[in-house]
Amino acid sequence: MISGLGLCDEYNGSIISPSNFRMWMGNFFGVMTILSVALKSRAFKLSTGFRRAFATASSTTTRSFLDETGLNIITKHGEEPKKHGYDYHIPVMKDECMQYLAIKEGGIYVDCTMGGGGHTRAILERGGRVIGLDQDPDAVMTATVFLQDFITKGQLEVIPINFRNIKEALCRSIFAKGQPIDGVLIDLGISSYQIDEASRGFSFGADGPLDMRMHQGMVDNTLIGSDRSLTAAKIVNEWNQDDIANILFHYGDETRSRVIAREIVANRPIHTTGALMTLISRVTSFKDRHKTLARCFQALRIVVNDELGALDQVLMDAKDCVKIGGRLVVISYHSLEDRRVKRLMRNGILGSSFEDSREVDVGGDESDEGVANMIWKPVVRKAIKPTTEEVEKNRRSRSARLRVAERIDINGDSASISSKPKMGNKQIRKFQEKNGS
């Protein structure tokens, strides 16, 4: 019956009100968006896409951490991780990363975003030693199980920490012992597991809580450098309309940010990714819906994790952590990241159009021409993109851009690791202070 579809009033059979009809249509288009996400998935079978699309908020994830030795895995229920290695995340441009890191036998390398351990394993198989960093407890557990043999052989050291604290990690490391190392690899992408796991709240392809915290609130807050209690739910439910609009515009390049922010504020409280997706879908054309959702979710994730502040910090500190002749290899996935990496490698400047660019203390003097004598020398002139074959196998790699720089010696300069005040994204700190976060 028509009334069974919610198109007629339950009591008298009359047509529902325009407001209720609008809500019904919003839900309908929300379901259609989920179906389109599942149908467009090339990396998985169709049936898998549908199962992911209709996953509910009841999905759970294994909470895990390392014991005091850093070797033994402890989980909430004593379980092993659901996915291992390449099932957790397919490493992007693995061969290119190994080529430009120029792995030396016995050399020490830092994988700043260990994830499922794909890049880490490739370095280890080429004879390098690795200090693996990750702030996500699930990633730490997965990689440690996947690479347990290398830990036993003394080739791998796992430190659960945000990569913005790379100096603290090297001082803590039994490999580095507070000394500069041979290379740093930073893959700034979110892992496939984090996207697919509904309970993490990163994706609009499945309904889950609006969390989006990489560290899941389980890492030492004194080392993170940001508020570990801040979630996407707190932003959409407590921050004011102008600040939400600014976040969507500046961190997601969303041109209709004002309209979307107004819809969000008018329909509070919002507790799940599905509810947020429905609200955004109501005020977005069907043609642009998928890209708009991706931009909005990206913007919220960047702010929740202070991703740009963490990137700025590790880029500034890398010069003190890498030996002369060592390499810095960075994979970025959107322009806000890539612009920072490119500017630092070329002329020592961080920043974007949203924030004032600032000169970085690169340890060199300014020449007569007004160009800083840099301690990083770009190895490749332009960013390297994944091959067509890789994109076909792993569609999520399509936006990746790889840049490489080599640490060079200027007037007897040498790397030196010392403590340094932590920095963060200035604009995000202003948002948090203004909204009491």
- Segment 103-153, tens digit of pLDDT: 999 999 999 999 889 999 999 999 999 999 999 888 899 889 999 999 999
pLDDT at 409: 83
**pLDDT-based confidence at 20, cuts 50/70/90?**
low
At 24, is the pLDDT very low, low, confident or very high (cuts 50, 70, 90)?
A: low
Q: What is the pLDDT of residue 214?
A: 85
Does the pLDDT at position 54 exceed 60? Answer: no
- Residue 374 has what pLDDT? 74
Sign of CA dihedral 252, 212, 56, 234: negative
pLDDT-based confidence at residue 396 (cuts at 50, 70, 90): confident
pLDDT at 89: 63
Residue 19: what pLDDT? Answer: 52
Strands (E), 165-256: 181-187
Can you give the pLDDT at residue 410? 75
CA 11, 12, 18, 24 dihedral sign is positive
The token pair that represents 291 in the structure block? 């890209």
- Min mean pLDDT across 3-7, 99-103, 426-430 is at 3-7
* Cα 334 from chain centroid (whole Å): 11
Q: What is the pLDDT of residue 58?
A: 31
Give residue 47's pLDDT.
Answer: 37
Q: Per residue in 313-338, pLDDT tens? A: 999 999 999 999 999 999 999 999 99
Region 341-360: what's the mean pLDDT?
65
Indicate the range of 197-211, 259-273, 368-382 predicted with least confidence: 368-382
**Structural domains in the chain plus CATH codes:** 59-437 (3.40.50.150)
pTM of whole model > 0.75? Answer: no
Per DSSP bridges, beta strands 349-350 and 358-359 are: antiparallel
151-160 tens-digit pLDDT: 999 999 999 9
Q: How confident is the model at residue 413, as a pLDDT?
A: 62
Higher pLDDT, 310 or 409: 310
- The pLDDT value recorded for residue 5 is 38
359: pLDDT strictly greater than 80: no
The interaxial angle of helices 289-304 and 273-282, nearest 10 deg, is 130
pLDDT-above-70 percentage for the chain: 65
Mean pLDDT of 53-58: 34
Q: How many residues does the chain have?
A: 437
pLDDT for 273 equals 94
* DSSP assigned state of 70: S
Q: What is the pLDDT of residues 370-391, one digit of tens each?
A: 333 478 999 999 999 999 999 9
Interacting residues of 90 by C-beta distance below 8 A, sequence separation 6+: 118, 192, 393, 394, 396, 397
Residue pair 243/435 in contact by the 8 Å Cβ criterion: yes
